[in-house]
Amino acid sequence: MTDIFENAVHSLQLGIEDFKSNDTRRPISAARNYYAGLLLLAKQCLIESAPHADPMDVIGAKYKPVPDGQGSVAHKADGYKTVDLFQLKSRFKDFDLAWPKVNIDRLQALRNDLEHFHPKEPLQSVKEAIAQSFPMVEALFKLLRRNPATELGDAWQSMLEEHAFFEAQKEACDASFEKVDWLAEITAYEDFACPSCHSSLIEQVDPSNTVPQDIKGKCRACGIEIDAEQVIQIALVAEYGSDGYIAAKDGGDEVICDCPECGLHTYIMTYDVNGCFWCEYVLEGNCARCHIALTPSSVAYDNNGLCSYCDDLFKKDD
């Protein structure tokens, strides 16, 4: 085994040992070791894709030009810092390697949170993050043409068990919302996040309920109860949060807005969806003065058929 691969295996094994201990003092170590192991595995994939190159020329974070002795320059690693998660994804693409279709951003965020804060039920959060990232470990070992069961030993069996348990829990939670009559379809249950422990294991206590405003939510991980308004907001962030980020980056209108009617942050405005998921109010029409389309972001505060700009002008005239 190469040093990086050996370190990756040891880090993953240590991470599993830490979270299996159920010691409340060890979640930070579990998240740190497991996350480091994942990144090291990915770096090993890059190194093996260019076996004749200096490893630091493959995984270095910074490069500098140096004379090549033939009147030109070559680029060599500058220092010993290696690529981070964002750079890894980019370099996989550059090396024509398929980055596993697994979201480990939550594991990264959890690792950072544990370093600086103390979220409720940290051990449960780590277990869930490990279970969710299991397919990535599997995919990276496949790229490396190695057997994870052989390399990881008992840690691999623990990961299999944790993944299977989480998947069963998650399936039951997601199914509890099947009968809810949402204003528009909600499918991104994997991105639900408990406001207390960040777990995605949020369920509807009464799976027979169909009315969004009557939802009684609960987190299976930390046990807190979540009211209907908050569950709806969690669902909207999961479903439309990425759309909102893209819109903001491109200078577009907000996607998740305060409803002009009920005032809750539950109004969605996209190309396909327009309406409040709480009170079902739909804002339509144009400003009576300047004729621009009214949106939750542009409509006057008292929703009098004017945009906020024209409403301000009228008030100044008064």
* In contact, 230 and 245? CB cutoff 8 Å: no
The answer to which of 26-30, 56-60, 148-152, 232-236 has the lowest mean pLDDT is 26-30
What pLDDT is attached to residue 205? 97
Q: How confident is the model at residue 317 (pLDDT cuts 50, 70, 90)?
A: low
SS3 312: helix
Q: Which of 188, 306, 270 is nearest to 237 (CA)?
A: 188
pLDDT exceeds 60 at position 112: yes
Which residues share a beta bridge with 217? 204, 226
Rounded Cα distance between 209 and 177, Å, is 8
And the tokens for 96? 């024509």
Taken as a whole, the chain contains a residue count of: 318
Q: To the nearest whole number, what is the mean pLDDT of the chain?
A: 89
Q: pTM for the full model?
A: 0.76
How far is residue 172's CA from residue 303's CA, in Å, rounded to a whole number?
42
Other CB atoms within 10 A of residue 242 CB: 13
For 157-214, give the DSSP string. Answer: HHHHHHHHHHHHHHHHHHHTTTT---SS----GGG---TTT--S-EEES-TT---GGG
> Tokens at residue 38, please?
């994942």
Find, among 55, 44, 50, 59, the residue nearest to 142 by Cα. 44
- Is residue 119 over pLDDT 70? no
Contact 111, 105 (CB under 8 A): no
- Displacement of CA 277 from its chain's centroid (Å): 23
Strand 267-269 and strand 256-257: the pairing is: antiparallel
Note whether 217 and 228 are within 8 A (CB): yes
Amino acid identity, position 69: G
Rounded CA separation 16/37 (Å): 11
What are residue 307's DSSP bridge partners? 299
For residues 121 and 15, what is the distance between their CA atoms, to the nearest angstrom?
Answer: 17
Query: For residues 234 and 202, is the Cβ–Cβ distance under 8 A?
Result: yes
- Percent of residues, the chain, with pLDDT higher than 70: 95
CB 191 within 8 Å of CB 219: no
Mean pLDDT lowest among 144-148, 173-177, 219-223, 241-245: 241-245
pLDDT band at 1 (very low <50, low <70, confident <90, very high): very low
Strand 202-204 and strand 63-67: the pairing is unpaired
- Give the tokens for residue 89: 């994804």
Q: What is the pLDDT of residues 236-245, one digit of tens each?
A: 999 999 887 7
Average pLDDT over residues 273-284: 94
